[in-house]
């Protein structure tokens, strides 16, 4: 096997994770769960996992996605900005995560728009 050198980090992504959650400041948003769509792009190094073929050397994205869904549902957040920062910080505490881009969207928030949301990038 040839050793390769890369200058940009590898990325693992989770696109359009959909959950029903309380998110918002308006009375109906505080009472009725709405669809929240979350996307993650995680900077990591996949080379060790590729060489070993062992999940222990990789980021378990299924468990991470489930944890992010649970955080979103249980948090009953007022603002997307608070939720998205908590998601980013949760991701950064995971083994092998060097940086993360998080996007959170609310599809029903604005009439005539597909969705509204916030996207941030954080790193260790």
Active-site amino acid positions: 106
How would you list the strands of the sheet with 34-44, edge to edge? Answer: 10-21, 34-44, 99-106, 116-123
* DSSP string for residues in 15-42: EEEEEEE-B-SSHHHHHS-EEEEEEEEE
Tokens representing 85? 């920062």
Spatial separation of the C-alpha atoms in residues 105 and 85, rounded to whole Å:
14
């Amino acid at each position: 096997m040839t050793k390769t050198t890369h200058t940009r980090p590898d990325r693992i992504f989770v696109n359009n994770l959909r959950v029903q959650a309380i998110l918002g400041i308006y009375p109906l948003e505080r009472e009725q769960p709405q669809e929240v769509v979350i996307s993650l792009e995680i900077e990591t190094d996949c080379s060790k996992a590729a060489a070993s073929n062992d999940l222990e050397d990789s980021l378990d994205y299924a468990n991470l996605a489930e944890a992010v869904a649970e955080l979103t549902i249980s948090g009953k957040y007022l603002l997307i900005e608070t939720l998205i920062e908590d998601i980013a910080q949760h991701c950064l505490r995971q083994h092998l995560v060097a940086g993360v881009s998080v996007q959170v969207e609310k599809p029903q928030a604005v009439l005539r728009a597909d969705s509204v949301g916030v996207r941030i990038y954080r790193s260790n």
